[in-house]
């Protein structure tokens, strides 16, 4: 079995705004089976009433700005900085349904106030994490997540929280096969419910975020740049998110060459490195 990669990705902070499409190399779909997929999530309490969050991976770069009164959400703004489909940019609209909902330490509680399938999955997840983080004591949080391409039917999934290794799984067909204390747990089906009922809240939040990587990484296995319109993706996650709803998919245009390759440390270090620069121009 391959050796796990358990070195936390480097992280730069304070870089000036830069263009991912010119600085970060494109992903080569012919390399599938040999690579890794990365994601970084940063959450910052910018002021007493404002929490901001960004999420970046090979396929996405989204941002959340959350205004609150320490009890409920007063305003939310979702920004799409890089996405696979043209219609992803519209996903801020359905997210507005969470305005007025109470803050919660449970990052999945957002689903009680807005339908996940009517929203962009990743923007929705980021909003939930920002809400949860708002009621926690820390000022900043960073999750680094990584999943390897399948090898002999197995994948390694790793998550670091604030640069400390928190979770490291090996999975086969969606089921954790190691480490021993996680063995046999399925990431399929009702994993979120299981995590909420069986794990402490911080571990549940991290585990749910890492489980999402199993879905994200499948994008390495199919080059959707061969398509022009979303309606051509007939085996996609139909009905599971905003763009893949029937009425939206028919007009979704593929944002070709948007997939980047953050596998090398020199590129991984740049993920969200210019987040503060965006804060200054908001």
As a whole number of angstroms, the distance between CA 30 and CA 233 comes to 19
Identify the burial level of 189 via C-beta atoms within 10 angstroms of its C-beta, where 0-12 means exposed, 13-18 middle and 19 or more buried: exposed
Residue 113 lies in a domain: yes
Q: Quick one: CA torsion of 241, 277, 213, 93, rounded to 10 degrees?
A: -10
Residue 216 lies in a domain: yes
pTM, entire model = 0.95
Residue 279 lies in a domain: no
* Residue 271 vs residues 30, 127, 142, 169: alpha-carbon distances, Å: 23, 19, 11, 23
Q: What is the pLDDT along the chain (282 residues), one digit of tens a residue?
A: 444 557 899 999 999 999 999 999 999 998 887 889 999 999 999 999 999 999 999 999 999 999 999 999 999 999 999 999 999 999 999 999 999 999 999 999 999 999 999 999 999 999 999 999 999 999 999 999 999 999 899 999 999 999 999 999 999 999 999 999 999 999 998 999 999 999 999 999 999 999 999 989 989 999 999 999 999 999 889 999 999 999 999 999 999 999 999 999 999 999 999 999 998 645
Residue 282 lies in a domain: no
Looking at the 3D structure of the chain, how many domains does it have? 1
Residue 262 lies in a domain: yes
Q: Residue 59 belongs to what domain range?
A: 26-223+254-271
Residue 78 lies in a domain: yes
Residue 247 lies in a domain: no
In which residue are the tokens 């994200």 written? 216
Residue 245 lies in a domain: no
């Amino acid at each position: 079995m391959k050796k796990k990669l358990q070195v936390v990705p480097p992280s730069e902070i304070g870089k000036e705004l830069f263009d991912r499409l010119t600085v970060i190399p494109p992903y080569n779909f012919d390399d599938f089976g040999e690579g890794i997929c990365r994601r970084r999530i940063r959450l910052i309490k910018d002021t007493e009433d404002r929490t901001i969050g960004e999420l970046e991976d090979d396929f996405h770069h989204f941002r959340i700005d959350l205004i609150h009164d320490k009890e409920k959400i007063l305003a939310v703004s979702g920004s799409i900085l890089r996405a696979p489909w043209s219609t992803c940019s519209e996903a801020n609209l359905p997210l507005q349904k969470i305005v007025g909902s109470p803050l919660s330490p449970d990052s999945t509680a957002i689903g009680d106030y807005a339908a996940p399938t009517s929203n962009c999955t990743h923007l929705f997840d980021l909003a939930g994490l920002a809400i949860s983080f708002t009621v926690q004591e820390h000022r900043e949080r960073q999750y680094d997540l990584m999943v390897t391409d399948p090898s002999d039917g197995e994948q390694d999934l790793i998550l670091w929280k604030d640069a400390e290794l928190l979770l490291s799984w090996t999975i086969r067909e969606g089921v954790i096969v190691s480490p021993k204390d996680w063995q046999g747990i399925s990431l399929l089906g009702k994993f979120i419910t299981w995590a909420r009922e069986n794990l402490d809240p911080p571990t549940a939040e991290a585990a749910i975020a890492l489980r999402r990587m199993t879905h994200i990484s499948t994008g390495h296995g199919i080059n959707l740049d061969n398509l022009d319109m979303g309606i051509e993706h007939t085996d996609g996650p139909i009905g599971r998110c905003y763009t893949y709803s029937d009425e939206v998919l028919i007009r979704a245009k593929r944002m070709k060459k948007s997939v980047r390759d953050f596998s090398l440390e020199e590129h991984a270090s740049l993920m969200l490195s210019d987040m503060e620069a965006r804060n200054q121009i908001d």
